A and B are shown apart, each in its own frame.
Chain A
Amino acid sequence: SCSSLAGIMLLEVFLVLGAVIIYFLFSKKKEETLPFKEGWWGKGEKPDTEEDTTIRPFKVETTEEELSDLFRRLDQARFTEPLENSCFHYGTNLVYLRKVVSYWKNQFNWKKQVEVLNKYPQFKTKIQGIDIHFVHVKPPRLPEGQSAKPLLMVHGWPGSFYEFYKIIPLLTDPASHGLSDEHVFEVICPSIPGYGFSEAPHKKDFNSVSAASVFYELMLRLGFNEFYAQGGDWGWLICTNLAQIAPNHMKGLHLNLASVTNMGFTHLLSILLGRYLPGLFGFQDEDVRRMFPFLKKGLYRILLESGYAHIQATKPDTVGCGLNDSPVGLAAYILEKFSTWTDLEFHNLEDGGLERKFNLDDLLTNIMIYWVSGCIVSSMRFYKENLQKGIGKQKHERLTVQVPTGIASFPNELVHTPQAWAQKKYTNIVSFHFMPRGGHFAALEEPELLAEDILQFVGKVEKEQLWRKK
């Protein structure tokens, strides 16, 4: 009777185990995808006629009128004196700003920069009722037997497609830049609707899923059935959503920012105890170094640096109004981010350390894109559309990503996300590297480092044909 009892117990255990295994097997198949978001963002009612799907070449242009209007505003700019010894602690230092404005007036050559912008082919096409602008660069030469791999690169705020101008040649023509040409890309950099030369949505509710859907249509319209995607800042979220909408089309997802917004009890626990028991939570030494002390490097830092997100997520039309009318105000607002998000220590410098990692021509070209397109307000509305319900509350934030993912983790990014957290969302992380230097604007600041990481990631994905395994 003892052995039969034991036998029954053993049977029960096996049954339970079996049920659990079956449950997991089946639950894996029930992976939810993010539905494609239909929309129509044009003015007024959607017309009955079919949408024009032509792809029209586009060139950035400027006029004398535009330039003289800009100069007049720069000349009449009213500045305020900064407090003594305040460096960049109160925001952009207004004495340094005067120097930038002086350069802008006297040395910066917008006509020349427009030619720089036009060196890559640009196009516009109407999707879901609005004109989408994008840059499309094909490789100048292809090695024998190779085809160019399509790579979608998405910018963020306060950036633009221009951020990619230094990294594009490293990806379309790696051999000429000392990189391996095992993989060569054709790069597509669109402007998010409401940014730069993409038309702004006229209707409410255009969020990251809408942008991902629009870019998905774009890639299909360009004839790409399979592609890679890369992004940071909003580009991170849009490409993530794209991976959730169209996992069968995306071969790989590369990110230089990988925030995790849907956090739970385990995250809280790892914040409290991770410093003392890193191994328990999967933290590496570098993770601990970057994340702790958590109050200082996490919570307080977020509070100190997120004022702009708070006001843009609630009153974008108010805060953007003056910035669309004062180029100096616009420059102060945008340059502050290029300083602080490149290295927090730049707070302590009178000139915000801006010219250590960037040159003024690049910074001002980016600002000019916001100025001449008048898009600052619509760019800010994107915050409200994405954040108004809070963080961690939207459907897509609870869904995971199965597409092979590569993450380049830059040391000066505002907040560090350890791999242990990222892999809860990105279930198929193929590469995760701690980059030796660089901050938020990785493509502009450290194009070689980023390009190398993208190339090695794609190499891994292609070699193991990982994208076929889904």
Chain B
Amino acid sequence: FYLTPPQVNSILKANEYSFKVPEFDGKNISSVLGFDSNQLPANAPIEDRRSAATCLQTRGMLLGVFDGHAGCACAQAVSERLFYYIAVSLLPHETLLEIENAVESGRALLPILQWHKHPNDYFSKEASKLYFNSLRTYWQELIDLNSGETTDVREALINAFKRLDNDISLEAQVGDPNSFLNYLVLRVAFSGATACVAHVDGVDLHIANTGDSRAMLGVQEEDGSWSAVNLSYDHNAQNEHEVERVKMEHPKSEEKSLVKQDRLLGLLMPFRAFGDVKFKWSIELQKRVIESGPDQMNDNEYTKFIPPNYHTPPYLTAEPEVIHHKLRPQDKFLVLATDGLWETMHRQDVARIVGEYLTGVHHEQPIAVGGYKVTLGQMHGLLTERRARISSVFEDQNAATHLIRHAVGNNEFGTVDHERLSKMLSLPEELARMYRDDITIIVVQFNSHVI
């Protein structure tokens, strides 16, 4: 089975989305020029989600990628709700009051966010009322808490993350009279999602990360070459500090059982996540909720399964690590991507490929034959391919698509091999997940003229 280049393109481009920040008076005064995003499913349905929105009542833009596990419900919910929580956390007291008054008196609400969505990025209509009520409760509390201080972005992000996770947990505990919604809130709470969110306001870039998605800054060096700067830490077993943190939070007796086979309690890859109440609630609470829940919950082996060595919950938190970065002129772009990308590509290659894509300049890695057995014909094909890529790089109009093309199609020489691409994309559903993970990418391009 062989896909033609147009077929490959149609698969790769199915989910691509681009947004350009509108110009005023022929100039873009925002520090963000725009962004490209795309996702390529491996799971069916895809468990990754993405979101992008402009804050309307404060300045700044929010972008995030969410990698779901044990289903997509949690990732979906977080992708719909998290930015509202963040936006609300950032709102000054007066605006919160104004919004509350509007709701109270049934007036039209000030819009908080302007979403930038691909048609495939859906919002759950059924749950909107429920979600809205939870959010309203949050801002009401914020109004009551009014500290009079200006909002710190770092704090706002942390609060928003924690509050949303808390609401997810509460909604599942309380349940909903509507059986559909009842089942939904349970699925959200029992599945999980990581989140990597960027907030860009002028030169202030904040990255709030929970889990093992990653934010990376593309920096152009003086000589024109590209380098990568990490703006997030993976929360997984490879991160010593994270392992340390988890161990600190639990008695010494559990030290051995906390991290097994590089997984939390031997089960979970990310060490921080939304949802996943199985790693947060007490055993009693889990049992009670499942028992009182709908039949589907009871029939699900996974939800009923209690992690081993489960003594001192919670083991998991949604609290993000926040990194603040002041944008510099050499900071050209930001890549937010789920681990599906980072498993296949080194960040340095990501920086180079995106950098060269955005600037249209190519510093390709030289080919060395080295010990390989290469025939003249093969080499010719390879070189032709590389040349063709330089000319056809712009068959991708989207940096994220371009990156996915590389992530999936790169051969040992670091060039896209159509045959490989075709094979990888035509894998049957049941096999796809074994060869690759869902990939979701957002590439944000910064405006050097303003920075």
The answer to whether A and B assemble together is: no
